[in-house]
Structures are given as C-alpha cells and as structure tokens.
Chains A and B, each alone.
Chain A
Amino acid sequence: MTHKITIPCHTSKLKDVRDFVTEVIRLFYLSEKEQFLLVLAIDEICANRILHSNHNDTTRNLEVEIASQDGTVIFCIKDEGDFFDLNQNESTPVDRLVKDRRKGGLGVSLIKKIIDSVEVFKEGHYTIHRLIKKSSVSTSF
C-alpha cells in the first residue's frame, strides 16, 4: 500500500507535506524523534526542489509517495523541475558557512545524515528522488 500527496510547488505548502508524512509514518515502529527527523528530511528535499528546481512555480506540482518494502520505508518525491543530483553535491563545512554568513547549505547535510540512501533519476520529464530509510514496519501499513 502506498500513500500519496500532491501539492503545488510553493514553500507555503510545505506544512501540508509535513502533516502528511507525520500522519503516515505513525504506522512505523519508530521513536518520536526518528519520526520527527524523517519528516525533517522530506521537508528539506521538498523545500530544495520547490525553491531551487521549480522556483516556487505554482503551475507545477510536486508529489510525495510513501511505501514500504522489505523492512524499509521508501519516499518518492516527483516533480518537473531541473535535474540535480544531491549525491554529487559535497557538503560545505559548517564553519565555512558561518564564516561566509550563508543562510543556505545545511539542508543537504541534514538529509544525508537522516536518510540511509538517496537515488536521483529522470523518468520522462520528471525528476524522481527516491529516499530509503531502513525500518521495521507495522503490519497495518
């Protein structure tokens, strides 16, 4: 069984994504803190896609799908924005960001620390991010 939400590409809709992910992952055997951090990771990738690849363009949609398979939780984020493989992006050290007074640059680091693996690929004109988190999943899912 999969769960899905579709939102217009605008950061004002990130709260809808967080509420959706929070509701779905309650079904997993995860601590409250683990759930909180998973919501954060999905929020980060969606914010990244909305801002940097879709430029807050509300004529475009972003889709988040959650599924379980073989003891893992799989998040698929699908949108029509520019392709960017965050695996190729080397995280800037925090002290460098501080020195440069940069507000951005922490999101990818957070995602990599929370999620076990991230795959990025094109499917037609869509860019797909597949985020995998190892977990025990309840039978109700």
Chain B
Amino acid sequence: MNISANKEGKTYVIIIDGEIDASSSIELDTAISEAIKKGERKILVDCEKLNYISSAGLGVFMSYLEDFEEQGIKIALFHMNDKVKSVFEILGLVDLIDIVPTRAEAEKIVE
C-alpha cells in the first residue's frame, strides 16, 4: 500500500494506492494526522486505487471525525469503487463521512 499527499491550490489531496488492513492502516493514520498538523482545512481523499479496506482503515477515518468537526476541517472521499464503498455502507458510515463519485463533487463539498 502506498499513500501520497499533495497540496493543490487550497486543497490537500491524499491518494491511496493498494489495500488498507490491520497491517497498513498506520500509514493512513499518519497521512491524516500530518494533514491536521499542517493546518489543512480542505482534504480530498482519492480512492480510485484503493482496492480493499478493513475495519482498521474505517477506524482511522472514524477516529478523526471529532477533530474534523472541532477544527472546521472538511473532508471528502471520491472515486471509491462499489466494493470498498459497501464496507462503509454496512456500518452506516456513509452517513458520517462524504463519499462521492467524482473529484469535482468532492471539491464542492470542501469549498
């Protein structure tokens, strides 16, 4: 699994490539934690190459929701395939975090 991050204008884009499980979720945790420490307020997560996510990955996103709320950080996930999205859907997490089909829609959410 590989995670990269780029500042693009006013948005901070995290790109996930591979599978997030109990072994690799720490890398996602580090990427989000760094974005918060840098003071980023508009975070996009490109999930096009995210092939798999387990509860460890879901847990990382969930554990930062309070920080996002408190610090006025907006985050949106986009280009997620249906199988990966179904993992968020099973537990109703799609009601807690924005997951949209396209980057353009994600940009609107964090505007």
- State the A residues within 8 Å of B (CB): 11-12, 14-15, 18, 32-33, 36-37, 40, 43-44, 47, 50-51, 94, 97-99, 101-107, 109-110, 113-114
Contact = CB atoms under 8 A, between A and B. Distances in A.
B52 interface: yes
B36 interface: no
B91 interface: yes
Contacts of A14: 21-23
Contacts of B67: 101
Given A103-B59, A103-B62, A106-B55, A114 B90 contact: yes
Interface of B: 19, 21-23, 25, 29, 52, 54-56, 58-60, 62-67, 82-83, 86-87, 90-93, 96
A129 B86 CA distance: 25
Contacts, number: 85
Given A11-B21, A102-B59, 19 more contacts: A11-B23, A12-B23, A15-B19, A15-B21, A15-B23, A43-B22, A44-B54, A47-B22, A51-B22, A94-B62, A94-B93, A97-B62, A98-B62, A98-B63, A103-B63, A104-B55, A107-B54, A109-B91, A114-B90
B66 A98 contact: yes
B86 A36 contact: yes
A104 B83 contact: no
Contact of A37 (B22, B62, B86): B86
Contacts of B91: 94, 106, 109-110, 113
A44 B58 CA distance: 12
Given A102-B59, A109-B91, A11 B22 contact: yes
Nearest to B53: A40
B83 A47 contact: no
Contacts of A18: 19, 21, 52
Contacts of B60: 103
Nearest to B58: A106
Nearest to A48: B22
Q: Which residue among B62, B65, B90 has the maximum number of chain A CB atoms within 10 Å of its CB?
A: B62
Contact of A43 (B29, B54, B58): B54
B96 A47 contact: no
B95 to A, nearest CB: 9
Nearest to A114: B90
